[in-house]
Amino acid sequence: MIVRMWHGRVPSSKADAYRKFVNERAIPDYQSVAGNISVHILERTEGDITHFVTLTFWKDLDSIKGFAGEDVETAKYYPEDKDFLLEFEPKVVHYEVVGQSRSPHFAFPAKRAGQS
């Protein structure tokens, strides 16, 4: 399993709108690709800048190519990103998953109506 990690920064004033965008547009796009295992969006605000980190888990490198194209290290952007992002980082980072564990004491909360 491979993790693809992307980082972007948006003005904090646009963080709510960007969060909505990634949940409604980007996550379904990732999930539509064969070999995508899961998508996790992380968010951290530092004053007037909000950082977003996208972690996508993939079956293998060929699955990532189905999403990103042959040059898997090149970041993929959506036309709408120009309305939010402060810069366009050209590359993503990949990590091979070499260990994992899930706590038997934790379950993700049920999705609320209208949530993706």
pLDDT tens readout for residues 56-88? 999 999 999 999 999 999 999 999 999 999 999
What is the residue range of 8's domain? 2-88
Q: Is residue 94 scored above 90 in pLDDT?
A: yes
For residue 114, is it within any domain?
no
Angstrom distance (rounded) from CA 29 to CA 52: 17
First to last CA, the chain: 23
For residue 113, is it within any domain?
no
Q: Is residue 108 scored above 80 in pLDDT?
A: no
For residue 103, is it within any domain?
no
Q: Is residue 50 scored above 80 in pLDDT?
A: yes
- The answer to whether 43 and 22 have CB atoms below 8 angstroms apart is no
For residue 56, is it within any domain?
yes
Q: Is residue 111 scored above 70 in pLDDT?
A: no
- The answer to whether 9 and 39 have CB atoms below 8 angstroms apart is no
Structural domain count of the chain: 1
The full length of the chain comes to: 116
For residue 115, is it within any domain?
no
CATH number at residue 77: 3.30.70.100
